[in-house]
Amino acid sequence: MVKLAINLLPWRQKRRDRLQAEFLKGLGVSALVAILMLVVAWQFYQSEIDNQVARNQFLSAEIEVLDGKIREIRGLQKKRKELLDRMRVIQELQGNRPVSVRLFDELARQLTDNVFFEKLSLKGEGISVTGVAKDNSRISNQLRNFENSVWFASPNVTSISALPQAGPEASRFSLSVEISAPGGGDGS
């Protein structure tokens, strides 16, 4: 019998080389596919980032437009308030016009003979009067006239001083009186 010896080493080496080449090709293809997937993913995320940046810029621009409109609205509201305040002042002046006329008329009606008002000043609901009287009894009469009027309340003399230039018993006086317009200021 003959013994035959088969050397399998070269076949195994070729097979090993072929498998190693296939493995390296597979590894290379896998690496290319992975790199390709990374590039595609990077491009996808970069486009998403660019889209979000564009949206943010659009929103920022719209916010600026809205901020401008808000400033404009606030300016208009301020002008509206100023106009309403002016209208209210004008209406008050229109409403108080008859009261003012009636108040001066009442001051003239309550003026005692030989008493002369030199200065009138209005502060809130009070009137300060500076004047000259022929004598002190005229000042007392003036106070009584103010007390008896429905337009005035709480008359009070603040000072009396002699004024010889106007007569032997003449006096300069200062008094204050509160306004109490009857009927809510309707001029009655």
Q: Quote the CA–CA distance of 9 and 14 in Å, as a whole number.
A: 9
pLDDT at 182: 67
The CA-to-CA distance between both ends of the chain, in Å, stands at 156
Domain presence at residue 97: no
Domain presence at residue 173: yes
Domain presence at residue 98: no
Domain presence at residue 144: yes
pLDDT grade for 49, boundaries at 50, 70 and 90: very high
Domain presence at residue 167: yes
pTM of the entire predicted model: 0.47
- Say how many domains are in the chain: 1
Domain presence at residue 137: yes
Burial classification of residue 130, based on how many CB atoms lie within 10 Å of its CB (0-12 exposed, 13-18 middle, 19 or more buried): middle
pLDDT digits (tens, 9 = 90+) for 26-37: 999 999 999 999
Q: What percent of the chain has pLDDT over 70?
A: 91
Q: Phi and psi (nearest 5°) for 5?
A: -110, 125
pLDDT digits (tens, 9 = 90+) for 80-108: 999 999 999 888 877 766 777 788 888 88
pLDDT at 77: 96
CATH of the domain at 141: 3.30.70.2830
> Across residues 10-16, what is the average pLDDT?
83
DSSP letter (8 states) at residue 17: H
Q: Which domain holds residue 157?
A: 111-184
pLDDT at 1: 65
Sheet containing strand 152-162, strands side by side: 115-123, 126-133, 171-179, 152-162
Domain presence at residue 92: no
Domain presence at residue 149: yes
